Structure 1
Amino acid sequence: MTSAATTPDLTADDRTRSAVVTGASTGIGEATVRALTAEGWRVYAVARRAERLEALSAETGAVAVPADIAEDDDVARLVAAVTEGGGIDTLVNIAGGARGTDWIADAKNEDWEWMFRANVLGTMKMTRAFLPMLRECGHGTVLNLTSVAALVSYEGGGGYNAAKFAERGMTRALRLEEAEHNVRVIEVLPGLVKTEEFTLMRLGGDAEAAQKVYEGVREPLTAEDVADVVRYAVTVPHHINLDEIVIRPVAQAAAHKLIRE
């Protein structure tokens, strides 16, 4: 008989979880970093604005990695930093956004190019770069944040619709391709979310116009609401895949039905 204690083998769901979260300098990405670190995750917070990442790191303990996810050299540097830090089991692709509300007849090349770069190419490059690591860990997760704009088109949304439809298509293909590697692929599709920058950036910095988007809407979603759904989706036992989660405020019954008081 021995008094030596034995350490049980840890399952995938018992290990300390680790994630890369993009778009971490603001909005839903920033809130997701807070949500995951609060539960003990090791999080690499990724965005272009280094000063905001450093402040978030000081607050949460996340590892700040300034990078442009659409730049190959930045992505390679990020993978190297994460590898040196012990790797991850979860990739949370939140970076993206919208620019402009022009109808297609007046579409601006630069707006469309930015949206495809941020929402589609960036997500593809991050996913492609981290898939070997996620496969190797044996229980990887990719979560892509798209939008209800990936479900229903609307006037003035053609560029954003196109980018988010493309990101959704990529996400659905990835789920089919990676199931045999035990990599689960989750899509979260938020509706109306009131954050400090999304609508402001879309409307070219017009604060008054941005405020009117939410005027009279009772309790639009917050970044923290969406982050909590993201946290839940990546924390449930690994054999559960929440393929698609649509999240809207009650006041937004559908894309064409928004209740204003």
Structure 2
Amino acid sequence: MNRLVGKTAIITGATAGIGFKTAELFAEQGVDLIITGRRKERLKEIKNDLEDRLRIKVTTASFDVQDADACREFVDALNVDVDILVNNAGLSKGIDPVFAADFKDWDTMIDTNVKGLLYLSRLISARMKDLNSGHIINVGSSAGHESYAGGVVYSATKHAVKAITESTKKDLHGTNVRVSMVSPGLVETEFSEVRFDGDKEKAANVYKGMKPLTARDIAEIIVFVANRPAHVNIMDTIIYPVAQSSATMVHRNE
């Protein structure tokens, strides 16, 4: 059953990977989109493609979620009620241990994964509370459930997303606003290339000898979570490829 047709969804980080696939699958369900990201031209390409193919409305907004003022300007300019907010924008930088990591990498992860998610959650949740309706879906990570060496700050940011999700649900207790999280393990997207500053060989080695999850795999789960009946709230899902059993246990065919 399609309970999504006619709704409006904001998706951050929609220019690639999980964000793009989520936008595409929502559009296939008849959801109008407001897609954000830093690559203005890429957003335009996605808008033109989805509107031509699927007869839905797509609005684009190019800004960095790290910028609180830009987030406020974006939300202030909205002239529609938002039914779904997918806080997807996020990244990892480096795999250095705590005693050797780059402060700039830490700042980038904290400002994007935590602050950016908080800024938009703060601004959109207030509107949803007033409407007594809506759904916030945060894209977390298995790293938000299990920390690992070399991921001290990335794991910390995703543990923060878990805490933010749970606290947001409690802050909205007694309303009809739903709050959820989706927590993937290894997904083959641009994620590893960003983590390794564009080093494609290092990025490819992350997935060597195993079949990772795809962006579509996670997008399908996000759409499933959003499409539950209004009284059903899925708080979290942890998704691994079959070859992965924990943050550090990955079976590889040599």
Counterpart of 2:34 in structure 1 is 44
Correspondence 1:236 to 2:240:
no
The answer to whether residue 31 in structure 2 is matched with residue 35 in structure 1 is: no
**SS in structure 2 of the partner of residue 253 of structure 1:** coil
2:114 matched to which residue of 1?
120
Partner Cα distance (1:80, 1:37) in 2:
24
Contact 2:4–2:30 under 8 Å retained in 1: no
Aligned residues: 245
TM-score of the pair, normalised by structure 1: 0.91
Residue 4 of structure 2 contacts residue 29 of structure 2 at CA under 8 Å; is this kept in 1?
Answer: no
After superposition, the Cα gap between the structure-2 partners of 1:60 and 1:202, relative to the gap in structure 1 and judged at 3 Å, is same
Select the structure of larger CA radius of gyration: 1
Shift of 1:169: 1.1
Q: Which residue does 1:76 correspond to in 2?
A: 72
Contact 2:4 2:227 in 1 (8 A): no
C-alpha offsets along residues 158-195 of structure 1, whole Å, 9 cap, x if unaligned?
Answer: 11011111121111111111121221110100000001
Query: 2-side partners of 1:186 and 1:167: how far apart?
Result: 11
Matches of 2:4 and 2:218, distance apart in 1: 25
3-state SS in 2 of match to 1:201? helix
Displacement of 1:235 in angstroms is 1.2
1:134 aligns with 2:124: no
Q: Which position in structure 2 is the counterpart of 1:170?
A: 164
Deviation track 1:9-43 (CA, whole Å, cap 9, x = no partner) reads xxxx5772111000101110011100101100011
* C-alpha separation in 2, matches of 1:115 and 1:107: 12
1:161 aligns with 2:155: yes
How high is the TM-score relative to the length of structure 2?
A: 0.93
Which residue identity lines up with residue 63 of structure 1 in the other structure? Answer: T
Gaps of 5+ in 1: 1-12
Aligned match for 1:24, one of 9, 14, 21? 14
Q: Does the aligned pair in 1 maintain the 2:184–2:218 contact within 8 Å?
A: yes
Matched, 1:256 2:248: yes
Residue 234 of structure 1 aligns with an amino acid whose one-letter code is: A
Partner SS for 2:36: strand
Structure 1 residues 199, 22: closer, same or farther in 2, change over 3 A? same
Q: Give the secondary-structure state (helix, strand or coil) at the position aligned to 2:183.
A: strand
Partner of 1:59: 49
Partner amino acid for 1:110? Answer: K
Kindly indicate whether the alpha-carbon contact (under 8 Å) linking 2:83 and 2:135 is maintained by their aligned counterparts in 1: yes
Match of 2:182 among 188, 191, 209: 188
What is the distance in 1 between the residues matched to 2:199 and 2:162? 29
Quick one: structure 1 residues 254 and 14, their matched pair in 2 at CA, closer, same or farther if it must change by over 3 Å?
closer
1:72 CA displacement: 2.2
